[in-house]
Amino acid sequence: MIPVTKSYLPEKSNYIRYIERCYQNNQLTNNGPLAQELKERLEKYLGVRNLLLVANGTLALQVAYRALGVTGKAITTPFSFPATSSSLKWEGIEPIYADIDADSLNLCPQKTRVAIEPGVTAIVPVHVYGNPCDVEVFDQIANEYNLKVIYDAAHAFGVKLNNKSVLQWGDAATLSFHATKVFHTVEGGAIIFKKKEDYERACSIINFGYDNGEVVGVGINAKMSEFHAAMGLCMLDEIDMVLQKRKEVYNRYYEAFDGHIEMPVWKIGATRNYAYFPVIFPSKSALLKTQEHLNEAEIFPRRYFYPSLDTLGYGRSEQETLISRSKASRVLCIPMYPTLPLDVQEQIISTMISSWDAGVEGMPAELKEKGLIEG
């Protein structure tokens, strides 16, 4: 079976060396030395400050909302993993959906502006597939309406925009370090705050509300353990090699499919971390036909992100989200991980092309003219 992703496991002996430090220190959690080292190394590697490690990426979003005082309503994207919306709902914040940009698949700033209504206190865009949003425009809108901006940057580890970490934008940006991500700690996440005072408030929130040994407010337990930090340190030791391998896999796909498929348009000036390889099919039926053929060959891609979240009852939208619904029904992410063997990748490519060729009949002529499908 060929899954859509496979967790990368770093050198076992290196992991054991880090774990031996846990045994020597006899500190397993509560901001231990390994967590502190991981924080410092990540800040340096990513080019950020005020990075807070947490237990997972969903908690990262929830803690960010709390630390920044987000209440009432927040405008967000319907084209994302459910956690973007469910984290808002969990915190008692109503998601208001605005439609996405047809090219980037990111939250559309213009439609976000139209969606602003009384009670909205924040915007929660997603850097979908690691592709940076129109961060400058969201900054302008936030300043104009006095809104907080929290970026769900779960896919954007290491991505830069105009030589600056994309994580520096917004009042906060959150990362997921889930086992399926480019960089992982098995389970984990992080929040990068623009302001130190917000970071310090969040430090108390994730530790039951304690600050210098005294309870100063309501908090929860969202700390990262030393064993998870150990995995993060191992991953960071090998991250450049991991990214290079992912790039090689991505480029093989791109060379094979170039001119025959549609993909999201990447932000000018942005780097890539090669987290996903999304293919936008000309129709839902073409996607399902290809997915069926791949499954028959024991290849299991995944429909990231389907369905459009506005159809699931998490929140509401006063505007039609036709682009999100259309793209969500036609996007398929094919297997993408650094240890994907070349022969397996060639099998995926040949299976897709044969299926795609067989499904051309009946597709709109204008797509053939654009070179998005073969005619």
Helix (H) or strand (E) segment spanning residue 110: helix 109-115
Amino acid 20: pLDDT: 98
Domains 12-234 and 239-369 share a fold: no
The reply to whether omega before 307 is within 30° of 0 (cis) is yes
Domain 12-234 in this protein, CATH class: alpha beta
Distance from C-alpha of 57 to C-alpha of 46, rounded to nearest angstrom: 17
Q: What is the pLDDT along the chain (375 residues), one digit of tens a residue?
A: 999 999 999 999 999 999 999 999 999 999 999 999 999 999 999 999 999 999 999 999 999 999 999 999 999 999 999 999 999 999 999 999 999 999 999 999 999 999 999 999 999 999 999 999 999 999 999 999 999 999 999 999 999 999 999 999 999 999 999 999 999 999 999 999 999 999 999 999 999 999 989 999 999 999 999 999 999 999 999 999 999 999 999 999 999 998 889 999 999 999 999 999 999 999 999 999 999 999 999 999 999 999 999 999 999 999 999 999 999 999 999 999 999 999 999 999 999 988 877 654 333 333 344 333 332
Q: For residue 131, give every residue at least 6 positions away whose Cβ sits within 8 Å of its Cβ, in sequence order, or none.
A: 104, 105, 106, 264, 266, 267, 270
Amino acid 358: pLDDT: 66
Cβ 130 vs Cβ 165: under 8 Å: no
The domain 239-369: what is its CATH number? 3.90.1150.10
Locate the domains of the chain by residue range.
12-234, 239-369
Residue from 368, 327, 336 nearest 103 by CA: 327
Indicate whether this model's pTM tops 0.85: yes
Amino acid 359: pLDDT: 57
